[in-house]
Amino acid sequence: MITVGIDVGSLSTKVVVLNQDRIMAHEVRSTGVDAKKASQEAMDTVLNKAGISFQDVESIVCTGAGKKKVPFEAQQATEVMCDARGGCHLYPKANGLIDIGGENCRAIKCDAKGNVIDFALNDKCASGTGIFLDAMAKALRVNPEEMGELSLQSTQDIEVTSMCSVFAESEVVSMIHRRTPKNDILRGIHKSIASRIYGLANRILLEGELIVLGGIAKNIGLIATLKELMASDLIVPDEPEIVGALGAALLAREREE
Amino acid sequence: MGTIDIMRDIVENPQRIIEDWKSDGKKVVGHRCLYVPEEIIHAAGMLPYPTFGTPEPITKADSYFQPCVCEFIRNLFDLGLDRKFDFLDSLILCNTCDGVRHLKSMWSTYIDSVPCYIINNPQKMYDESGFKFYRHELEMFKGMMEDLSGNKITDESLRKSIELFDETRRLLKELYMLRKRDVPPISGSEALIVSMASMLMPKEKANPLLRQLIDEVKTREIENADGPRILITGSIIDNPALIQLVEDMGGVVVVDDLCSSMKYFWYETKPNPDPMDAIVKFNLERAVCACMHPSQQRFDYLKELAREFKVDGIIYFLIKYCHTFTYESPTYQEKLEEETPTLTLEVDHSLSGLGQLRTRVQAFIEML
Amino acid sequence: MTIEATTPGKETFTPGRFGLKASEEIFMATFAYYAGLKAAKEEGRPVIWAYGVTPREIFHAVDAPVFYLEHVPFLLGFQQIGSHYMQIAEEHGFSKDVCTSHRCFIGCGLGSEQEREPILEGMFVEPDLIIAGNYPCMSESKAFLCIADRYDCPYYFIDTPINTWGKDPPDYAIEYFEGQLKGALDFMGEHGFNLDWDKLKETVRLSKQILLLFKEIDELRKAIPAPMSSMDGLVTALLLIQVLPPSTVITLYEKVLKEVKERVEKKEGALEEEKLRLMFFGVPPTFNMGVLDSVEKYGAVFAKSLLECAQGGMFDPSGIESFMDPEKPLESIAYRTLVDLINPTSEAMVNYMVGAVKDFNIDGVVAVVKRSCGLIPPYLRQIKDAVYKETGVPTTIFDLDGLDTRDYDDVTTRINLESFIETLLASKRR
Amino acid sequence: MITAGVDVGSLTGKTVILKDNEILGWSLISTGPDSSETAKEAMDIALKEAGVSFDDMDFIVSTGYGRIVVPFSDKNITEITCHAKGAHWFFPSVHLILDMGGQDCKAIRCDEKGKVTNFAMNDKCAAGAGRSMEIMADLLDTPLNEMGGLSLDIKEKLAPLSSTCVVFARTEVLGYLHEGAHRNDVLAGACEALADRVSTLLKRVGIEGDFVISGGIAKNEGVVKRVEEKVGLKANICFEPQIVGALGAACFARELLEKKGKKKKR
């Protein structure tokens, strides 16, 4: 049975085509301004990647900020359910998940069978992680992908406020003016985001084995800083971005049975 | 300046005081506010210890308290969770704001290493029925202190403690009065350090040190301080760096009306045959906290200070999410501004937004 | 009755759905009451601005026309114009940390003639007297200062001690608070509201009847399916905070009781097919109550909300008979206010919540954080842990300011609600 | 007597060179990662334009976000005081000034000699107001200088964006875009929210007398028109609103020089 999960995030759209338990194909593209167009294009690309047509798909579940905009007929589900379903499918023993999306982050606690016990979404002050990192990359004239490694080479610890990304930005700007070394600023930025995520995870007492999802989970600097703060060990799947869409596809299959 | 450095060392690492005091088996009782009667704790042979916060950012407490609770309380809770207050035999709070009331129940639920108790003080001054109510509450508190310490609190021991604490208050006031001079002999941040150290130290040790400091300061040579004279008021500022910031910007801080300085020692206990009644009247006849009614007396006290110390500008520091003072500040700003330019500034307890603060303070000082 | 959105561009906001006819009547009676205030002012009778959730009996006993702080911001919230007055308060220097309800009230007071929108114009009267208080939230104890300054009218401050003693506060505490109420009555007496002791006794007798009626309605809400929608619950509770004359409140409550009884007998719920029973903790989104009704498509209903037993009803209803004794009026009111759940020492509230989750067989608790509130956010975590430990029922906590449209984020609120409901439905299916 | 004012903001670096009371030359460049470099660069361009050399400078005052880091300045003064003096230079009858820098917005009242009598700055949560306009421009891929005009021709009135927090406003913009809202309407919402926050600030210091808007925001007519509507005052805007701070600094340099009476040795 072939099902599709599509996660229309605020910054990027992810699609996964699933055949029983095997991922046939997946696609990630930026959502841009028009979520409707982005989801249609993503669907078309993933279908011909998997070498199947739209009719072969038994059912589709869509999730994410733009789930209402999906042009084709699909059931809806919330990001929390999809993340949990996808994450626990990949690592059944995990106690919880942290999803660091472009716009906001989520902490989810699940039981042994992968059902959600508790979850917490970031409050207003902690939103905009994706935009914040991009803005910082531009301000420091650094390629966003390298921010992680550079931050690991920092020598001294500097405090960047973790209250809100706008203050963090103004502090970073003043640090740049004071010619603080770039790697140290990057480490400060990563610590600021990590402590916000740590605060979120603490709100639902997340411990034990945790999976880190979302596009920003690829940033090894952030994961290293988060590991320092959190006692639990963190697993980053190789394609952390598409786990939500995978969960949606799994839900599509369940709802079909 | 020897004495001030000794005091600065005490403020920066107060553990030594705790170790000395606990070495001969005596107990330490922490408290968070001026309305907790330290004399009763001292009369029971225990050390009253003001739990000043630390400027580190909040970590664990944010998962217990919402971020919209005043940062000073979250900082205390954070230190409690990190077991940094485990040397306390008890923590005493009092009924001054909503945050503190919930700190009591959250502390009792989540921190079992230090028992917590709240004194239910009325919030109305010069009110006979209030004195009666507060007397009952203080009698219960006295009983608790006797059980905790195992010593009986007699009128005699209470009277001696009141005299001892008033001596400290008199000395601190005498020191602060010296700042009326055109060239104040002691800077704002130094004065705050002296006041905080005197609150931390056992009063038996604090008083001689203060006498020695006053003699040194009287003859101290200071080159002219020609900046505008500034009065600082607010709730609890326990970080001299904030006063230092104002002084770096060219302001001469001559008055700091804060819970960690003048609010603690500006008034004295009136002589009274019954020491408990003296403490009741002492607390319910001095308008130092914004939670007390009527607020007219505190407002006149501020205006009087501004005139007495010939002040050019007033800075009103508000700790973010501190409701008690935030409700009052617009009305105060309007009234104070009739005579002296006043600036109300929102401050984080962990002083994270220093950059923005510096611009505002410098602009205010350039304005005077 | 629909409340059209008066804030331009906010068409997306839908008013709450009235399940009961009686709720609509209560709503209209509330607005009629405030129109009556203007009439009293024209007749030259002094109008009192009441701060805090001051026991309403002391106003009924002297027939005082009262403009009520804890009530007006709600009515303006329903009309989606609360933020306009908050902005006026901010222009007078009040920071955003000041509670939105108090900021809204301060804005009403400090706003100039032209700044007052037509809706408030219909109910606004200038204060001649102020009764201030620090109950239930200490932060509002100074919220009246700027208004007393502006209209330079005399005020009396009622100091309510917090309840650090649990179920039975000591005599000296009741005596102290009784003295405060007596002081307020004398203060009103000096300004033309002479107290008739028998009338006070009669008011306390009627007040006991109101609480018994409310308790009966409260019991009926335990029925499955839940007879009242979230809007019904909120409007019914507002009667307790405000100052409608007791006789009117009794007739209105009798109507609500009759309607709810019929519904329970006919097993007719606010929803045809009820799958989930939720409880709401905190200030609901008054300007967009529709968002709470939006969960109905999942078969979820807000069977109970904490605000519903505001002031006087907000205590363990089982205790009413024992202490409301009309012969000792002031002592009864003093005791009731001290043991009230909202009197901020949270142990009583945490225990009540655990009990309520069991009694109303609640499947999930939705707790909202009003950023500028000093009273409720600090102990939400305590409630969440206690409820989960004792009943296994989860609680979700998220940011929502129920009165300020400028802060409201519809998308995140819906995601929070829907995610919580989906997790509840998933766990219910297992 | 030739004096200079250097204003190093978080987004732009500006320099103005005055000869007695006439502008000899000025410069406006975007701030690089190193603000002392930016200050030098801005100074060199202004010097070339004014046709004078660095040694001719009698007194230099630095202002703005990075005022402390300018190596060759003799004194640093806050941008609040300088914007008041600069606005007074352009419009002598000014009493109320709005300055929107990259990081925060300031409402300033001054007397007839351009001396600050009262000021109010945005509270912490509304920081980065100017900066957020730049990020809004990226999100909506519209050039910064076109934002104002586009925000005025509204297709369908949207609810104003949240005026409390800039981070939150950005997430709201993304939400509206996904709902398919027209770009102009979202721009209108953003400018409306900014104008809302700014007018509250202006009312806090009191709305009377002539009104001047300086700083980058003065070029966004969408915000300017809405602020004028809300405060009921016509805004005077000089030919280059972003150099008002630097000009004020140069005026102070002149005043300080007259007071001191001798050339400043460097």
| Amino acid at site C378 | P
Task: Return residues 41-70 of A near D (CB < 8 Å).
Answer: 65-66, 69
- The confidence band for C1, taking pLDDT boundaries of 50, 70 and 90, is very low
CB count within 10 Å of CB C220 equals: 18
Q: Are C402 and C284 in contact (CB under 8 A)?
A: yes
pLDDT in tens, D32-55: 767 788 889 999 999 999 899 989
- The confidence band for C156, taking pLDDT boundaries of 50, 70 and 90, is very high
* Interchain CB contacts (distance < 8 Å): B and C: 145
- The confidence band for A214, taking pLDDT boundaries of 50, 70 and 90, is confident
C423 part of contact set with chain D, CB < 8 Å = no
Task: Give contacts of B130 with chain C, Cβ < 8 Å.
Answer: 159, 176
| Amino acid at site C403 | L
Distances (CA, A) of D213 to D110, D129, D205: 13, 15, 15
Q: Is D69 within 8 Å of A177 when comparing Cβ atoms?
A: yes
Q: Is A161 within 8 Å of B57 when comparing Cβ atoms?
A: yes
Packing angle, helices B98-110 and B71-81, rounded to 10: 10
Which positions ≥6 away from B135 have C-beta within 8 Å?
A: B276, B277, B280
pLDDT reading at C131 higher than 60: yes
pLDDT in tens, B271-314: 999 999 999 999 999 888 888 988 888 889 999 999 999 999 99
Task: Give contacts of D157 with chain C, Cβ < 8 Å.
Answer: 8-9
Q: Give the mean pLDDT of A123-129.
A: 70
Q: Is D166 within 8 Å of A166 when comparing Cβ atoms?
A: yes
Distances (CA, A) of A250 to A2, A5, A87, B327, B357: 10, 8, 11, 53, 52
Q: Give the mean pLDDT of A179-187.
A: 86
pLDDT reading at C430 higher than 70: no
d(CA C10, CA B70): 33
Q: Is B346 within 8 Å of D123 when comparing Cβ atoms?
A: yes
Q: Give the mean pLDDT of C283-304.
A: 86
- The confidence band for C210, taking pLDDT boundaries of 50, 70 and 90, is confident
Q: Is A161 within 8 Å of B353 when comparing Cβ atoms?
A: yes
Helix (H) or strand (E) segment spanning residue D68: none
Task: Give contacts of C404 with chain A, Cβ < 8 Å.
Answer: none
Respond yes or no on whether the N-terminal peptide bond of residue C394 is cis (omega within 30° of 0): no
Q: Strand, helix or coil at A13?
A: strand
CB count within 10 Å of CB B150 equals: 9
pLDDT in tens, A151-166: 888 888 887 776 677 7
pLDDT reading at C403 higher than 80: yes
CA distance A161 to chain B (A): 6
| Whole-prediction pTM | 0.88
Q: Give the mean pLDDT of A172-185.
A: 80
Task: Give contacts of D115 with chain B, Cβ < 8 Å.
Answer: 367
- The confidence band for C292, taking pLDDT boundaries of 50, 70 and 90, is confident
Mutation target to probe the D interface, by most D beta carbons within 10 A, among C91, C110, C114, C409 is C91
Task: Return residues 114-153 of A near D (CB < 8 Å).
Answer: 124-125, 127-128, 131-132, 135, 139-141
Q: Strand, helix or coil at B118?
A: strand
d(CA D266, CA D264): 6
Q: Which of the two residues, C119 and B306, has the higher pLDDT score?
A: B306
Short-list D86, D41, D91, CA closest to D244: D86
CA A234 to chain centre: 14
Mutation target to probe the D interface, by most D beta carbons within 10 A, among B316, B340, B366 is B366
CA distance D53 to chain B (A): 31
Q: Are B101 and B118 in contact (CB under 8 A)?
A: yes
pLDDT in tens, D149-199: 888 888 777 766 766 676 677 777 777 777 777 888 888 888 888 888 888
d(CA A150, CA A143): 10
Q: Is B330 within 8 Å of C93 when comparing Cβ atoms?
A: yes
Task: Return residues 126-155 of D near A (CB < 8 Å).
Answer: 127-128, 131-132, 135, 139-141
Q: Is D171 within 8 Å of A103 when comparing Cβ atoms?
A: yes
- The confidence band for A175, taking pLDDT boundaries of 50, 70 and 90, is confident
Task: Give contacts of A104 with chain C, Cβ < 8 Å.
Answer: 412
What integer pLDDT is reported at residue A128 of this predicted model? 66
Q: Is C411 within 8 Å of D157 when comparing Cβ atoms?
A: no
Q: Which of the two residues, A59 and C410, has the higher pLDDT score?
A: A59
Q: Give the mean pLDDT of C289-303.
A: 86
What integer pLDDT is reported at residue C308 of this predicted model? 62
A103 part of contact set with chain D, CB < 8 Å = yes
- The confidence band for D218, taking pLDDT boundaries of 50, 70 and 90, is confident
In chain B, whose CA is at the least distance from the CA of D80? Answer: B363
pLDDT reading at C368 higher than 50: yes
d(CA A101, CA A83): 11
Q: Are C97 and C61 in contact (CB under 8 A)?
A: no
Q: Which residue has the tokens 């067989």?
A: C361
d(CA D242, CA D213): 10
* Beta-bridge partners for C158: C133
CA distance C9 to chain D (A): 4
What integer pLDDT is reported at residue C154 of this predicted model? 94
pLDDT in tens, D57-101: 899 999 988 888 888 999 999 999 999 999 999 999 999 999 987
pLDDT in tens, D97-151: 999 877 778 899 999 988 999 998 877 666 556 777 777 787 788 888 888 888 8
Which positions ≥6 away from D18 have C-beta within 8 Å?
A: D2, D3, D4, D5, D24, D247, D250, D251, D253, D254
What integer pLDDT is reported at residue C96 of this predicted model? 85
pLDDT in tens, C52-82: 788 888 998 998 899 888 888 888 888 888 8
Out of D65, D118, D124, name the one closest to residue B346 (CB). Answer: D124
Task: Give contacts of C175 with chain B, Cβ < 8 Å.
Answer: 129, 132-133
Q: Order of strands across the sheet with D22-30?
A: D22-30, D12-19, D2-8, D59-63, D75-76
Q: Which two tokens stand for residue D9?
A: 């903001």
CA distance A79 to chain C (A): 8
What integer pLDDT is reported at residue C8 of this predicted model? 35
Q: Is C415 within 8 Å of A81 when comparing Cβ atoms?
A: no
Write out residues in chain B with pLDDT < 50, as ranges.
none
In chain A, whose CA is at the least distance from the CA of B56? Answer: A159
What integer pLDDT is reported at residue C2 of this predicted model? 33
pLDDT reading at A240 higher than 80: yes
Q: Is C409 within 8 Å of D162 when comparing Cβ atoms?
A: yes
In chain B, whose CA is at the least distance from the CA of A198? Answer: B59
Q: Is A79 within 8 Å of C415 when comparing Cβ atoms?
A: yes
- The confidence band for C6, taking pLDDT boundaries of 50, 70 and 90, is very low
Q: Is D177 within 8 Å of A33 when comparing Cβ atoms?
A: yes
What integer pLDDT is reported at residue D249 of this predicted model? 94
Q: Are B276 and B138 in contact (CB under 8 A)?
A: yes
Q: Which of the two residues, D78 and C233, has the higher pLDDT score?
A: D78
